[in-house]
Amino acid sequence: MMEEDFRNWLRNKYKDEGTINSRLSNCLTVCRHEGDLDIHFSKDSCKEIITKLTYSADDEKNKREKRHNIPIDGNIRNGTATYKQAVNLYIYFKKGINNGVNILDKAPIDKKKCLIRNSHSNWPTWELPLEDDIYQLAQTTTKYIRFLNPKIIEAITKDNIEHYNEWYELLSINNINPNLYLWEMSPCCFPGIRRHEGSKEIAYFKKQTKMDKNDIQNALKLDDNDFPKQIWSFIFRGKKFGKFGPDNYSLAHLIDHKISKNRMENELIFINGNKFSEPYYGLYTCPSNTIYIPNSLLKPTDFNLKLRRLLFQKAESLYKDCCNILPPLIKIPDCDDEKWNIENFKWSNCVGSLDNINNFLSYRNNLMNNYTNKGE
């Protein structure tokens, strides 16, 4: 391939030398394992190699083998997409030469992808962020994420142990699987309370319709995202959450806690034959599973898998000595890329103190007692 000319072309598209070297390195890796890109371009404008470097979400879900010969240490879909995007850049570069465009000009724009297509055409294919872009986003994001002080999580976990038998029985007699909330050393703040999901439950929660209690699966009470914030409100304000939080910050969950679009099976490791069968609803109010993040940044639910795992690993490193952030037989994958080690990122200090923890424990224990006494 035209290595030096391509490098000069990239310099007019990217200012960061690290990004330039990464794109070039990706293309050279493709050449080593799949043949020279210039030959591929002469043959079919690289259509065959682009097909090989296509690995869809459905491929990932069904754990299909990759079509190319490039070794990938880590997530196959993300790694394959990185090489595919680099090859697409080389294709734009080559097309510029063939069309008589000076290779030192800025990267040519694919006009076909910029035009609004009619309703009978496919959507255009736009360039996705590469791993280097995601990495830079992570470096910016981690400095502003707020995790709760581990001592707070420890206090909740100890109180759960004291009430374990009582609350286990409460959930059981209400036909709720206690293990979805009260696994060993669980830091769940409100066992039996989960987020509403689906149109029927939302309408019921808003009192627009009625539901038979037996139709509400695995829940003492449905919620609209208030209960995960109760612990934060008590810690910082000494009282219940009141429909507003810290200015310009929003609460976000780390590991999925609902049925729809649950990614636990793909993001975590289920060991000893254990398989994902239903959500662990207790993660909804586990303070080890919630963070506050600036509204100007994307929430973790929107993040790339590597960034999401980075946050999982950070939470585990903070709380592993005081609770189990996940149920038994489920573990967070080890970091398989030293670049993404949590030690390579700047993190804000954990927030909160134990000053108001007794107020919170009293509030939530009274709430749980009400369910026990009323049989709700």
The three-state DSSP-derived secondary structure of the chain is: CCHHHHHHHHHCCCCCHHHHHHHHHHHHHHHHHHCCHHHHHHHHCCHHHHHHCCCCHHHHHCCCCCCCCCCCCCCHHHHHHHHHHHHHHHHHHHHHHHCCCCCCCCCCCCHHHHCCCCCCCCCCCCCCCCHHHHHHHHHHHHHHCECECHHHHHHHHHHHHHCHHHHHHHHHHCCCCHHHCCCCCCCCCCCCEEECCHHHHHHHHCCCCCCCHHHCCCCCEEECCCHHHHHHHHHHHCCCCCCCCCCCEEEEECCCCCCCCCCHHHHCEECCCCCCCCCCHHHHCCHHHEEEEECCCCCHHHCCHHHHHHHHHHHHHHHCCCCCCCCCCEECCCCCCHHHCHHHCCCCCCECCCCCHHHHHHHHHHHHHHHHHHCC
Q: CA-to-CA distance for 75 and 308, rounded, in angstroms? A: 13
Tell whether 63 is covered by a domain. yes
* Structural domain that includes position 38: 3-128
135 in any annotated domain:
no
Residue 16 pLDDT exceeds 80: no
Same domain, 238 and 101: no
The answer as to whether 80 is a domain residue is yes
In this prediction, residues 92-112 reach a mean pLDDT of 56
CA 238 to chain centre: 31
> How many domains does the chain fold into?
2
pTM score of the predicted model: 0.68
- Whether 327 is in a domain gets the answer yes
123 and 258 in a common domain = no
In this prediction, residue 108 has a pLDDT band, given cuts at 50, 70 and 90, of very low
The C-alpha atoms of residue 82 and residue 368 are separated, in whole angstroms, by: 49
Same domain for 115 and 153: no
Domain final residue, candidates 103, 128, 153: 128
Instruction: Say yes or no: 99 and 193 in one domain.
Output: no
pLDDT in tens, 75-99: 898 889 899 989 988 998 888 765 5
Q: Are residues 201 and 253 in the same domain?
A: yes
Say what the pLDDT of residue 10 is: 87
294 and 165 in a common domain: yes
291 and 156, same structural domain? yes
Note the pLDDT tens digit of each residue in 206-263: 999 998 877 899 999 999 999 999 999 999 999 999 989 999 999 999 999 999 889 9
Angle between helices 150-162 and 357-374 (to 10 degrees): 30
Look at residue 25 and give its three-state secondary structure: helix
Residue 290 bridge partners (DSSP): 253
Instruction: Tell me if 133 is assigned to some domain.
Output: no
Query: Which residue did the predictor score with more confidence, 63 or 117?
Result: 63
Q: What pLDDT does residue 147 have?
A: 98
148 DSSP assignment: B
Position 124 scores a pLDDT of 80
Q: Is residue 134 part of a domain?
A: no
> How many whole angstroms separate alpha carbon 52 and alpha carbon 55?
8
pLDDT (0 to 100) of residue 258? 93
375-to-131, 193, 216, 369 alpha-carbon distances in Å: 51, 14, 15, 10
End residue of a domain, out of 128, 162, 189: 128
Q: Answer yes or no: do 157 and 263 share one domain.
A: yes
> Residues of the chain with pLDDT > 70: what percent?
91
At 114 the pLDDT is 42
Identify whether residues 185 and 116 lie together within a single domain.
Answer: no
Q: Largest Cα–Cα distance of the chain, in whole Å?
A: 81
Confidence at residue 74, expressed as pLDDT on a 0 to 100 scale:
85
Q: What's the confidence (pLDDT) of residue 300? A: 65
User: Has residue 136 been placed in a domain?
Assistant: no
Same domain, 328 and 193: yes
Check whether residue 308 and residue 365 sit in a common domain. Answer: yes
For residues 361 and 359, what is the distance between their CA atoms, to the nearest angstrom?
6
If you count them, how many residues does the chain have? 376
- pLDDT over threshold 50, residue 106: no
pLDDT of residue 99: 54
Mean pLDDT value across residues 328-348: 93
Residue 56 pLDDT greater than 90, yes or no:
no
Three-state DSSP state, 154: helix
Q: Which residues pair with 36 in a beta bridge?
A: none
Mark which of 100, 128, 156 sits at the end of a domain. 128
Q: For 281-306, what is the mean pLDDT?
A: 87
Is 157 part of a structural domain of the chain?
yes
C-alpha span between 234 and 229 (Å, rounded) = 9
On whether both 236 and 333 belong to a single domain, the answer is: yes
Which among 96, 91, 14 is positioned nearest to 53, based on CA atoms? 91
